[in-house]
Amino acid sequence: MDLRAELLKSIWYAFTALDVEKSGKVSKSQLKVLSHNLYTVLCIPHDPVALEEHFRDDDDGPVSSQGYMPYLNKYILDKVEEGAFVKENFDELCWTLTAKKNYKPDRNGNSVVSHQDAFKLWCLFNFLSEDKYPLVMVPDEVEYLLKKICTAMNVELNSCELEDFLSQEPQGQGGLTVWQFLDMVNSGRFLRGIEQEAISMAVEEVYQEVIEDVLKQARSSHIGYLWKKGQLRRNWSERWFMLKPSALSYYMSEERKEKKGSITLDKHCCVEVLPDRDGKRCMFCVKTSSRTYEMSASDTRQRQEWTLAIQTAIRLQAEGKKSLHKDLKQKRREQREQREQRKAAKEEETQRLKQLQEEKERKLQELELLKEAQRQAEILLQEEEQRRRQQHEEMQRTLEIQLREAEQARASMQAEMVLKEAEAERQRKRILELEDMQERLQEALQQEVKARQDEEAVRYAQARLLAEEEEKLKQLMKLKEEQEEYIIRTQMEKQVLKQEMENKNKCLEEAQKQLEEVRVNRQRVDQDVMAAQRKLRQASTNVKHWNVQMNRLMHPIGPGDKRTNVSGGVFAGYQPLLSRRDSSLK
């Protein structure tokens, strides 16, 4: 199961928790908040403006899971980088959303597991559930998980009681939902008499082993430490070790707050048992390509457990597998599928044998029916043979009688044939006579036909002449009618032309009258023009006279000039002004 599938399982719970009405759709505002929180816990950079724009309120209404998947894949899941975020924080976000709606612990505080343990069980359920929605865990995986928890507490699981419970519990899609599983655990049916602290420690151990891929760590403080030899000072230090498929990490204490170092494991690493020395016993070493790490366990059993666990981690690295439990889960799933296939094959074989048995019984019944039908057919055949034999004998007797009758008829027919031959001879002679007569009648008939043909030809010629004469008569009548029509049309055209001539004469007279009026008007206009010209010449003469007078009056008076020039000199200063007025009048 890859990272995308793991994330999708948790997101599915968060989406269904937001679907309050259980309609399969969630409002866009809730999806916007969910997407923002996913960006945050998955450490994916995003644009808040683009997020607001994508999930803006419009008339499209809520969005289904299928409608949200394209955005989820493109903008979130495709950008997730493994190791760039804390998987537990992501799971806590989705658990918080879904537990608020679906998880219902005992309100009196009598729940077997705490809220944090319920979260870890939810994570374990998601890991072990089938990759089909809605998510369920098959009974085999339920038993496996409960056995792991009970083993961590050194308690044996009652498998019979679990089978009874699973047979009574309604299962959808072939397994339990996570809420049915949590209710089953909280019921205390399988964890009676165990303290909550012990259950929490067992759940934590299984959680670290399955979810966090911790292959080996100590279960109690007094055996949890190993002694490790330093590289520089070569002294021995007590460290708390934790093994994962990719690395063996060691800390100052079991709280794992201060990490002192890590041994990276790959397919080239190996682990070896060392003899006791330097006052240390139960020694072993881990060899990498760059360094050899020497360690000492508290006892031989602890050394064997650690060496086997480290060899398992190296084997996983050599096989290119990142998680032991993912590999084990896949193997269990393949075993279940093989069992299902064998079971289906067995059922199919049983069904096929049943069908073959039914087919065999049906064949036997058909065989009995065939035997009975054969007996009936033999009886009918015997009866038919008897009946045919009787019919044959009766037919033979009838044929003998008919044969005798035929002999008698033959004798009578021979006598009749002699008489018929004589009659036939007479008939032949009569036929010859009739044929001769027929030939003569044929000749007479041909002559009569020829006469009739000649008569028909004469009649046809006569009829043709009559038709031609009648046609010419029709043409003559038609010409006469056309001539009369032409005469009438000519008379009418003459009358129309005469009327038009009268109208044109009237129009001509009116035009002549109008022409006379135009001539009179023209003469009158010419007279008016001549009068206007005379007035114009008179006015021009007057203007010239007054110009002379004005020029004379405007002449300046000099010393010794006559008195008559005094007035002219007075107006001398106005002469330019009067000349400008004169030019404007002109």
Contact 162, 121 (CB under 8 A): no
The token pair at 150 is: 């009970």
3-state class of 309 per DSSP?
helix
Q: What is the DSSP letter of 574?
A: G
**26, β-bridge pairs:** 63
My answer on whether omega of the bond before 62 falls inside 30° of 0, hence cis, is: no
| Strands in 275-330 per DSSP E | 283-287, 292-296
Contact 39, 76 (CB under 8 A): yes
DSSP string of 543-573, one letter each residue? HHHHHHHHHHHTSPPPTT--THHHHHHHTGG
DSSP string of 485-544, one letter each residue? HHHHHHHHHHHHHHHHHHHHHHHHHHHHHHHHHHHHHHHHHHHHHHHHHHHHHHHHHHHH
| Distance between first and last Cα of the chain | 117
The token pair at 296 is: 């000492």
Question: 127 Cβ partners below 8 Å, 6+ apart?
Answer: 1, 6, 210, 211, 325, 329
Report the topology of domain 225-322: PH-domain like (2.30.29)
pLDDT of residue 577: 45
pLDDT of residue 170: 66
The token pair at 157 is: 């699981």
Contact 112, 185 (CB under 8 A): yes
3-state class of 228 per DSSP?
strand
Residues of the chain with pLDDT under 50: 1, 220-222, 563-575, 577-578, 581, 584-586
3-state class of 233 per DSSP?
coil
Cα-based distances in Å from 165 to 80, 143, 174, 510, 567: 40, 11, 14, 132, 153
Note if the pTM is more than 0.75: no
The token pair at 578 is: 């009067």
pLDDT of residue 328: 82
Pairing between strand 216-217 and 225-229?
A: unpaired
pLDDT of residue 188: 74
The token pair at 25 is: 């759709």
Cα Dmax for the chain: 204
What are the boundaries of each domain within the chain? 1-102, 225-322
